[in-house]
Chains A and B, each alone.
Chain A
């Protein structure tokens, strides 16, 4: 058991309704499992901002665990979290 701090950015912050959240994790919990917890907690609108609702596929974006960059599309989501990690969810967007 442990806890991680999740920071939200850009439109994910709006969907979560908060800049950050303190989330309890199981031992050995992966980033993918954490995202599942977040979508359950913050609901369908939050999920629609990170996954395509018609395909269920993750949008390509970066999740930072500390300074490590985890990609939703390069098979990194099995990365295991540790107590005290700070997890940042960045914006899935092209353009700019």
Chain B
């Protein structure tokens, strides 16, 4: 038996077709080459999911995976990820959530749980250490994610169990349905629909095992040091604990990069009404932290008055404020909190849900969708009551909600009439709340990223806080590679983005290395850790290339390549296609990818030990 610290050493497999479980050992090679999280997800999915299959068919697989740090005291070690072939993009997709689900999975003795096949009837799975049971979920099918967790926790008399589940949106195969545990979401890419297609309602996990590290004294020294630096850092020690991610709202608006009215503008004139400052003074009732995290960036909110009175919410986060607020022209924080809570209960990604609604609003205002086609809803920007009604329809696929539940790109393809310009998606994924037009490096990193319209492959932070000049092209291929490399290793460790200023915004650093080594005892060098990041990134890319992804798919949303920002401090900025193509040439060189096709070269794949991928992509 190999003895790296941090790992449980097993992978649990759940065959939903036959209601059977099995375990396979986590090999030393897999831990050493792919570390955890996205590395495990990409490795399992590449090896086991054939190209071309329907993401919502039984052949797709869904992987819960943690990294080596989950279950330890490393700050933000409460996080974990889910991995699948996305029904929105058709590519590999990873999504992460905080809370405590990942650590509990480790305590139960599993580094990853693979969900396979398709159950005949709705099912949930109970995993208590080595005891795995498949159960009929008919009584909770149709229930919200919160109701589901309450019922299961009560029925099983296990108050400490962690429960991951889907809501009505996942059951109805909404293409941006998510997985919820507690009130945290592994939000993006439609993973909830994949579980829904397998009739997998929930998993209840409870564990009693330890996660061990090789040298406890050294571990405590390294972790204490990082903890102290998190507390002293003005971002993680002051800004995030005070306002959470909503603090970014006014900053982005001040820079003229806050998506507004479906990205027709990037300045929201009523930003003060939806700011983090307003949320703190009007709605926040308590601060909350995920497991093992000293930052406490989560804000619990309660709406006391008005049409949304009585709403209790964990959040909203910045992305949700952008998605349902400025980007839908809504200046009511109270409605945003209600929409956030509804999204969690329905089990939909707030970013994509807000984006398809803003898409529909623009279509409505431009006469592409009539009031008859919107089921009588007056979908003008800013109509908060209509937004709430439409969100419910989407989550349940009712009326026009059925069309929008397909995501903005598919909806636009069906609607036609020029609406394709208003579907602000990258690789089929609705754009997150950071401006590709206003940040050149981030823009390139998104276009070349695995996930497309996500702010989690390349990162906007270093440009937003001025470490890199957001307006110039020089150095942006390096920026894209650097931030993608950092996020890739963070997602294999499964640490939270809130600590990116501690770990390093634009490259893999000794901070990453020290934590990985002190937890695992692998004694990696920095170049070896960079190789792990590159290996995972190229494996994800290989998965996508095997699905047909090529250079021409590394593009931005049409709006961002065609329409300059019309007003405000970033007026005139956009990404003309010829500029993007020029940046891509350099980016591919840095990555070791073929400039003509966008496929990793055979040499790159072989250097990283991805020999099967080299064979598959160069038959």
Contacts and interface: CB of A to CB of B under 8 A. Distances in A.
B619 interface: no
B386 to A, nearest CB: 28
Interface string B435-473: 000000000000000000001000011101111011100
A90 B229 CA distance: 22
A90 B258 CA distance: 14
Given A9-B250, A52-B233, A64-B569, A92 B467 contact: no
Contacts of A94: 235-236, 461, 465, 497-501, 505
A95 B240 contact: yes
A74 B239 contact: no
Interface in A8-64: 9-11, 13-14, 48-55, 59-62, 64
Interface stretch (B161-169, B207-215, B241-249): B241-249
Nearest to A66: B569
A88 B251 CA distance: 9
Nearest to A54: B232
Nearest to A70: B466
Contact of A92 (B239, B462, B470): B239
A60 B247 contact: no
B250 A11 contact: no
Contacts, number: 131
Contacts of B229: 54
A53 to B, nearest CB: 6
A52 B236 CA distance: 11
Interface residues of B, number: 49
A95 B461 contact: yes
A95 to B, nearest CB: 4
Given A52-B234, A94-B498, A10 B243 contact: yes
B412 interface: no
B465 A93 contact: yes
A52 B502 CA distance: 12
A45 to B, nearest CB: 9
Interface in B232-270: 232-240, 242-243, 245, 247-248, 250-251, 254-255
B254 A88 contact: yes
B319 interface: yes
A51 B239 CA distance: 12
B422 interface: no
Contacts of A71: 465-467, 469
A70 B462 CA distance: 14
Nearest to A71: B466
Given A13-B277, A94-B501, A69 B234 contact: no
B319 A96 contact: yes
B276 interface: yes
B429 interface: no
A49 B238 CA distance: 6
Contacts of A82: none
Nearest to A74: B466
Contact of A60 (B232, B243, B460, B465): B465
Contacts of B250: 9-10, 91
A92 B235 contact: yes
B230 to A, nearest CB: 11
B497 A49 contact: no
A73 B467 contact: yes
A96 B321 CA distance: 11
Interface string B568-583: 0100000000000000
22 contacts: A7-B254, A9-B251, A9-B254, A10-B248, A11-B242, A11-B247, A14-B280, A49-B234, A52-B232, A54-B232, A60-B462, A71-B469, A74-B466, A74-B469, A91-B239, A91-B250, A92-B234, A92-B465, A93-B501, A95-B461, A95-B498, A95-B501
Given A69-B255, A71-B465, 11 more contacts: A10-B250, A55-B232, A60-B465, A71-B467, A73-B466, A91-B248, A92-B234, A92-B465, A93-B239, A93-B247, A94-B236
| A-B residue pairs, 8 tightest by C-beta | A71-B466, A94-B501, A10-B247, A59-B234, A95-B498, A93-B239, A11-B242, A93-B235
